[in-house]
Structure 1
Amino acid sequence: MDSMCYTAMVTPFLGDAVDEKGLSRLADFQIQNGIDGLLAVGTTGESPTLTWQEHHQVVQVYAQQAKGKCRCIAGAGSNNTKEALAATGHAVEAGVDGVLLVDPYYNGPSSMEIRKEYIAPVAAAFPDMTIIPYIIPGRTGAQLLPEDLALLAKSYPNVNVVKEATGNLDNMRRTRACCGPDFTILSGDDGLTDQMMTDPDIAAAGVISVVSNIAPKAMKDLVQLLADKKLDQARQLAEALKPLFGLVTVVTHEKTPYGEAVCRARNPLAIKTLMQLLGVPAGPCRAPLGKMSRAGLDVVIGITKTVQANSPEILAPLADYFNVDIDARLNDQRFQEGLYYTDY
């Protein structure tokens, strides 16, 4: 089974508009550094705050950039099956290689309903398109179970990949047991990729990565080393990358007039904040995502300084491609202005 390292691409904004030039530059940066594929408008791409017109715009740009160079997956999931069908139809027209269908959020269908009323209709309507269920109950409050995933794979040959972001290794092992050795499991969690690929009862083929937005070569190298069973080298690289995995969710404890409050800066806030700090096209997040706290930004800077000090080769491709001095950016207060709330 081929190894796969996809990047869950951010959506760059310029003011209140999608930054098409930024989209193209980000895609080219990924392609130049050997990534296997781009995921357009997933959670990292802020799909909940894009209009459908913007959604299609981003898919078209990333699909065009990827054509003949790497694969492209489009996020097409919804909590409305009609919308998922329409988004998949557009993605097919744009020339993508697959679509990602996140479990329906908020309305909370059962696993059986997800199978019968959501994945199956899309798979049946587009038999030549790879359909990738995306299982992340921590975000959606719903979950397609391994048993129903296996039934889908049995009935629809185009359902042969899953993005697994449950964080539950036993669930992943059950997926492998139900779906068989030829089914492709991709990690939806950068920090679990090593474990998922080396556990023989999971045997994941790779990752759809957030961290590869800033470190595509290192993440691609990690997946390839794991696939090639070069485990000592893989573990060394994973250890060097490990601080960056902490960017997916940054948790701080903030002081308020009523006592301490926990602040969870969830993806893609921290990764986009860092990209802005480093001078990479990203722009801010769209409301209701906003800015980090001062403490949260300090965590992001601390993580990046650690990686830069211990393993500067990880961010070197970014520095070279975007022609930025990472150390200067991390240490100059001017670049931090506007990236954090000045009060709680």
Structure 2
Amino acid sequence: MKPGCYTALATPFTPDGLRIDQKGLEQLIDFQIANGITGILAVGTTGESPTLGWSEHNAVVDTVARLCRDHCLSIAGAGSNNTQEALNATAHAVKRQVDAVLLVDPYYNGPSSLEIRREYVAPIAARFPGMEIIPYVIPGRTGAQLLPEDLALLNQAHPNVSGVKEATADPNNMRRTRACCGPDFLILSGDDAMTFEMMTDPAIAGGGVISVLSNIAPAAVTQLVQKLAAGDRESASTLLEALTPLFGLVTVKTTETTPHGDVVCRARNPLALKTLMRLLGMPAGPCRPPLGKMTRKGLDVVLAAARQVWTENPDILKPIERFFGVRIEERLDDPRYREELFYSDY
């Protein structure tokens, strides 16, 4: 893999949520390619991999691999909390000639870092030495964590483990990864809001991002990474400021009132992202249960962020207008476009 901006692609569903919207999926991929993305990740968290059947999972990988070929790089999500499933998914990705696979730390059953290395990543890296393997470290989702020391041991034993998607939100962990793994190891941000810090901190020396927000703004996020890689911190800072209103959409927290008192409601990725995609007229469809809809307050947060970007930096969203033939101002202002996007009560 090479440094750059990779989109963690959302999976579009039909309005009833029962099937993948194949035409919409192809449109989303073409939109990314047209806007200069470095690569596309199929069926990650943003792609709702937990609610895809394996036949659906493989079908999305097939489409991404086919359409990316000769245009940009492709990554297949292949992680599981079952090593055999991950081996099977990686074998499928190899057959489809993707450029890399992403292996999220095993979730729920909570293996130690030692076990993640020996019983999960290493067997897959050894079975498929010609495939780039990218561990995905996100303890806030998985309850487990591959530590920098074990990551370095993997890299030493298996040269195809040459990068990581880092989503610990802990700069000290990132610095430790760089210290353990050396200067040539690729550290990709797994959190849009931390990309700037990761790429400007010489003790981290991040190489780019696997981005959620590039579903909406692939050109702008790609330019941010390119400016940072070129050392143009001033231009990158301007882009960062323009994109910042969107960073909060990865997780939207609101306080909701119930008959028993106030509660915090947390709409996690990809719910807010897909809500915005639907609002703007992009193929998305609903999230699959157990993800559902936003609250009215949550939708207001999404609307406020989109309106701020559209008012202050419309060039970030204009590619959507051109590619999908929509009028963003109309879609942000007309209540008809948000009728199905939120729960009417708590």
Structure 2 length normalisation: TM-score?
0.99
**How do residues 46-195 of structure 1 correspond to structure 2 at under 5 angstroms?**
46-195=48-197
2 CA distance for matches of 1:180 and 1:126? 23
Alignment-mate amino acid for residue 85 of structure 2: E
Alignment equivalent of 1:246, drawn from 245, 248, 266: 248
Counterpart of 1:17 in 2: which secondary structure?
coil
**How do residues 246-265 of structure 1 correspond to structure 2 at under 5 angstroms?**
246-265=248-267
Unaligned runs of 5+ in 2: none
**What residue is the counterpart of 1:43 in the other structure?**
45
Cα 1:17–1:28 change in 2 (3 A) is same
1 CA distance for matches of 2:124 and 2:116? 11
Counterpart of 2:316 in 1: which secondary structure?
coil
2 CA distance for matches of 1:184 and 1:201? 13
| Contact 2:105-2:146 at 8 Å conserved across structures | yes
Counterpart of 1:313 in 2: which secondary structure?
helix
Cα root mean square deviation, aligned: 0.8
2 CA distance for matches of 1:2 and 1:264? 34
**What residue is the counterpart of 1:6 in the other structure?**
6
**What residue is the counterpart of 2:292 in the other structure?**
290
Residues 264-323 of structure 1: per-residue CA shift (max 9 Å, x gap) = 000000000010111100000000000000000000000000000000000011111011
| Contact 2:190-2:210 at 8 Å conserved across structures | yes
Residues 86-115 of structure 1: per-residue CA shift (max 9 Å, x gap) = 000001111210000000000000000000
**What residue is the counterpart of 2:312 in the other structure?**
310
Q: How far apart are 1:176 and its partner, in Å?
A: 0.1
Unaligned runs of 5+ in 1: none
Structure 1 length normalisation: TM-score?
0.99
| Contact 1:11-1:41 at 8 Å conserved across structures | yes
| Contact 2:8-2:215 at 8 Å conserved across structures | yes
Runs of 4+ deviating beyond 4 Å: none
Residues 165-196 of structure 1: per-residue CA shift (max 9 Å, x gap) = 00000000000000000000000000000000
| Contact 1:3-1:224 at 8 Å conserved across structures | no
| Contact 1:75-1:100 at 8 Å conserved across structures | yes
Counterpart of 1:124 in 2: which secondary structure?
helix
Counterpart of 2:293 in 1: which secondary structure?
coil
1 CA distance for matches of 2:53 and 2:94? 19
Alignment-mate amino acid for residue 285 of structure 1: C
2 CA distance for matches of 1:309 and 1:30? 23
1 CA distance for matches of 2:311 and 2:82? 47
Q: How far apart are 1:3 and its partner, in Å?
A: 3.3
2 CA distance for matches of 1:5 and 1:223? 6
2 CA distance for matches of 1:76 and 1:132? 10
1 CA distance for matches of 2:246 and 2:297? 17
Identical-residue share of aligned pairs (%): 65
**What residue is the counterpart of 2:216 in the other structure?**
214
Number of equivalenced pairs? 344
Counterpart of 1:158 in 2: which secondary structure?
coil
| Contact 2:42-2:61 at 8 Å conserved across structures | yes
**What residue is the counterpart of 1:279 in the other structure?**
281
2 CA distance for matches of 1:164 and 1:187? 5
Counterpart of 1:303 in 2: which secondary structure?
helix
Alignment-mate amino acid for residue 9 of structure 1: L
2 CA distance for matches of 1:218 and 1:196? 18
1 CA distance for matches of 2:276 and 2:51? 20
Residues 141-172 of structure 1: per-residue CA shift (max 9 Å, x gap) = 00000000000000000000100000000000
Residues 25-47 of structure 1: per-residue CA shift (max 9 Å, x gap) = 00000000000000000000000
